[in-house]
Amino acid sequence: MASHLRQRKDKCPKRVIKTILIILLILAAIATVVFFVLNKDSFIPERETMSVTIEETPAEYVEETIPESLPIIKVEQTESESVSEPETEPVPEYKPEITLTFAGDILFDPNYAIMASMLQRGGDITTSFDEGLMEIMTGSDLFMLNNEFPYSDRGEPLPEKQFTFRAKPEYVTKLLDIGVDIVGLANNHLNDHGQDAMLDTFDILDSAGIPYVGAGRNIEEANKPYYIELEGVKIAFVAATQIERLNNPDTVAATETSPGVFRCLDPTGFIDSIKEAKENSDFVVAFVHWGTEGTEKTDWYQDEQAPLYAGAGADLIIGDHPHVLQKIDIVEGVPCIYSLGNYLFNSSSLDTCLVQATIDTESKTLKSFRFIPAYQSGCKTKKLDGSEKERVIRYMRSLSDSVEIDDEGYLYLSKS
């Protein structure tokens, strides 16, 4: 018994020692873990894409918890690490309506008063219009007028023609300065300096990025509609002239092989062009050079042909050539102004206008038609307001007995 007890006593010190060693090892492991946790920043290697700048910081700016001997470390983000916002496409603004604006005859020939006066003012065409007209012209979705001359340095004036016009090629940019988007060339002055000047005109307008209708290098170009899509509405423009009313006019008709204008004294071809445009678009503008110069009364050609153009599919009929205002009418449901008058054409003092048609983008139909009174005088044109505006609207009412025109120039159907 005593021998057994002695053996147990001999084993006790060894167990105690073993237990103590285990405890020490555990404490050492814990200390090591704590050390690494507290000093982990010192063991993280630098990334290749990070640049490190060390700056010695004055002691007065170092917090008490940081020893004075330690530097401040700034980490600067490189371009490769910068977070960029994803680029988003701008959402196009939805427009519930489109505005089409029309003006009558213009002239840039430096041998005549309009251009001569403009050049005396430095050649800036915007000085020829007041702020009200400039705002309308440049603010429209599409602005069209009658370009009553060729652009060229070539050619000779046609013999025995009383008035012949030609503008320098560089003057074409004046159209852009006033917001013109498309011009009509179907008129009786495009050929004033012959075929070379006419061909130059096509090239110059093409170079300026200005579309044209009513003339071309051949009949296929001359009678071709011009199409443009705005806000999902496809609009077509066609133009033709019946002036001069001669079997052998100075302003030659385009043929399959030669340049010229699109003539409509016989309306058959123009009717076909309108029908083609209607089949391929939502809204058709027929721009017609017709009527008798210097009179406010329409002639039988105009009265006879307007219903034909409306019946062929025109949604709007815009007329020019008489150099004065003529009536507004509703022809088979289609608004028609028979003459816009001069817009910036000569030194005469006379009433003129802009016409603005608004298209509803949802229904793709005409929403409104507005006559905007203006006045050409002293080789400038201005928008009319107040009593002068009222005077011109009263005058248009007196010419237009089949429609109602309100005080702001908006058109309403009175009787058909």
User: Which pair of tokens denotes residue 282?
Assistant: 């939502």
* pLDDT for residue 98: 97
Of 322, 108, 101, 286, give the one whose Cα is nearest residue 205.
108
Sign of CA dihedral 75, 79, 81, 87: positive
**CB-CB contact of 227 with 235 (8 Å):** yes
SS3 track for the chain:
CHHHHHHHHHHHHHHHHHHHHHHHHHHHHHHHHHHHHHCHHHHCCCCCCCEEEEECCCHHHCCCCCCCCCCEEEEECCHHHCCCCCCCCCCCCCCCEEEEEEEEEECCCCCCHHHHHHHHCCCCHHHHECHHHHHHHHHCCEEEEEECCCECCCCCCCCCCCCCCCECHHHHHHHHHCCCCEEECCCCCCCCCHHHHHHHHHHHHHHHCCCEECEECCHHHHCCCEEEEECCEEEEEEEEECCCCCCCCCCCECCCCCCEECECCCCHHHHHHHHHHHHCCCEEEEEEECCCCCCCCCCHHHHHHHHHHHHHCCCEEEEECCCCECCEEEECCEEEECCECEEECCCCCEEEEEEEEEEECCCCEEEEEEEEEEEEECCEEEECCHHHHHHHHHHHHHHCCCEEECCCCEEEECCC
**CB-CB contact of 400 with 327 (8 Å):** yes
pLDDT digits 0-9 by tens, 101-137: 999 999 999 999 999 999 999 999 999 999 999 999 9
Q: How far apart are CA 183 and CA 175, in angstroms?
A: 9
Sign of CA dihedral 60, 62, 64, 69: negative
User: Which pair of tokens denotes residue 250?
Assistant: 């100075």
Of 366, 380, 300, give the one whose Cα is nearest residue 130.
380
* pLDDT for residue 26: 80
Q: Is 332 left (phi over 0), alpha (psi -120 to 50) or beta?
A: left
Q: What is the mean pLDDT of each run of 10 residues along the chain (416 residues)?
A: 44 65 76 63 48 43 43 46 60 84 98 97 97 98 98 95 96 98 97 97 98 98 98 98 84 95 96 98 98 96 97 98 97 97 96 98 96 98 98 98 96 62
Length of the chain in terms of residues written: 416
Maximum Cα–Cα distance across the chain: 157
